[in-house]
Amino acid sequence: MKETPIIFSAPMVKAILEGRKSQTRRSVYSDLCPWGVPGDRMWVPESFQKCGCDACRFAWPKKGPHGIAAFREGYRGPSCAAFTPSIFMPRWASRITLEITDVRLQLMSHWVWALTFRRIA
């Protein structure tokens, strides 16, 4: 089983968290699906804000007692630290893990991978 990061926009992350999204389509660049086969997992990196307490600040990048203070999606509080872009999120900090249940090719205006998944974490 392999784990691969897959980036979604903030509205799509919200839909996954609410259980309204269970499929995504990605452009075909090769004859092998780079996200895997049924049974493999994908994790979703998000824009995030590190916790500013001393215990977490000195433990980073390992998981401190608080680790992540906030994720940008749905955040409404004061911002005392800048948000870090999703491409820099470490695997341990991801709150969304998806298991691939089906992979198939679909012809839209061009060929795309249609990935069906279920949220497991």
CATH code at position 25: 2.30.130.30
Helix (H) or strand (E) holding 54: helix 54-59
Residues 73 and 103 in one domain: no
Task: Give 65's pLDDT tier (boundaries 50, 70, 90).
Answer: very low
Q: What is the pLDDT of residues 79-94, one digit of tens each?
A: 556 677 888 888 888 8
Identify whether residues 54 and 32 lie together within a single domain.
no
Confidence of residue 120 (pLDDT cuts 50, 70, 90): very high
CA distance to 59, 83, 84, 96, 100, per residue, from 72 (Å): 22, 7, 9, 14, 25
Residues 101 and 112 in one domain: yes
Q: Is the same domain home to 81 and 105?
A: no
**pTM: predicted TM-score of the whole model, two decimal places:** 0.79
Let me know whether 72 and 84 are in one domain: yes
Q: Are residues 39 and 18 in the same domain?
A: yes
Region 8-17 average pLDDT: 88
Q: How many separate domains does the chain show?
A: 2
Across the range 72-78, mean pLDDT stands at 58
Q: Give yes or no: residues 39 and 4 share one domain.
A: yes
Extract the tokens encoding 92: 């341990």
38 and 24 share a domain? Answer: yes
CB 18, CB 73: distance < 8 Å: no
Q: Are residues 54 and 39 part of one domain?
A: no
Owning domain of residue 73:
46-88
pLDDT of residue 19: 94
What distance in Å separates the CA atoms of residue 109 and residue 23, rounded to the nearest whole number?
Answer: 18
The single-letter code of the amino acid at 92 is: W
Our measurement of the distance from residue 97's CA atom to the centroid of its chain's CA atoms, rounded to an integer in Å, reads 7
